[in-house]
Amino acid sequence: MRGRHRLPGLAVNGVNRPGSAWPDGVWGLESSGPENGTGPLARGRGLRVFAESGGAALAHELGAVWAGAITDRPPLLLDAIIDTTPVWRPVVEAMASLRPGGRLVINAIRKEDLDKQTLLEVDYARHIWWEKEIKSVANVTRQDVREFLQLVAETGITPLVREYPLCEANQALIDLKRGGIPGAKVLRISEV
């Protein structure tokens, strides 16, 4: 399932705790794909990226040290996980992949009710114990935007974008729903 999300830089900054070092690695659970979300920004901060991705080859090409399905476990427990998806399954799966004291950062405008029953699978000892944290970073301030733009400039990120002319709007929607085509989808209203 694909969904809207807020500035990925906000989520990357959300994994850091004031007064502490940046975590060693971060797992990006991306609603828009690894090419335009938290992965490039996390790598820009020097973090190792573990990606949930249907396109493992692309995730590796973009610098992820590991890529797998949402139900796969990364090769080690992680310091931080960023979830930009609109559904609940990634929350439950992510909590099981955090090290003690790890942090799950949810960077979503909202979560769907479609799979809310997944939360009933949460097991205290497996998902919450050992001071694991969940943090929401869905609100964006002007300062967040300034920091995000500075981070993008520092890391030299070039987003992958697929443009569609207005007459191909239906195809753009079909591609967005099916997934599998890397890059952000942009509908071009007129020629400039």
Counted domains in the chain: 2
Per the structure, the complete domain to which residue 72 belongs is given by: 8-155
Instruction: Determine the Cα–Cα distance for residues 177 and 142; give it in Å rounded to an integer.
Output: 31
- pLDDT per position as a tens digit, 109-140: 788 899 999 999 999 998 988 999 998 876 66
For residue 82 the two structure tokens come to: 């960023």
**What pLDDT, on a 0 to 100 scale, did the predictor assign at position 69?**
79
Residues 178, 95 share a domain? no
Residues 116, 44 share a domain? yes
Q: How many CA atoms lie within 13 A of 98 on its CB side?
A: 29
Q: Is residue 1 part of a domain?
A: no
Residues 177, 143 share a domain? no
**What pLDDT, on a 0 to 100 scale, did the predictor assign at position 182?**
73
Residues 122, 44 share a domain? yes
Is 0.85 topped by the overall pTM?
no
Residues 49, 98 share a domain? yes
Q: Is residue 167 part of a domain?
A: yes
Amino acid symbol at 85: T
User: Which one, of 180, 135, 100, 97, lies nearest residue 13 by Cα?
Assistant: 135
To which residue do tokens 């690894």 refer? 34
- pLDDT per position as a tens digit, 177-187: 887 677 778 88
**What pLDDT, on a 0 to 100 scale, did the predictor assign at position 11?**
47
User: Which one, of 70, 32, 22, lies nearest residue 50 by Cα?
Assistant: 70
Residues 147, 165 share a domain? no
**What pLDDT, on a 0 to 100 scale, did the predictor assign at position 73?**
84
Q: Is residue 177 part of a domain?
A: yes
| Residues of the chain below pLDDT 50 | 1-11, 13, 22, 31-32, 34-36
Residues 22, 116 share a domain? yes
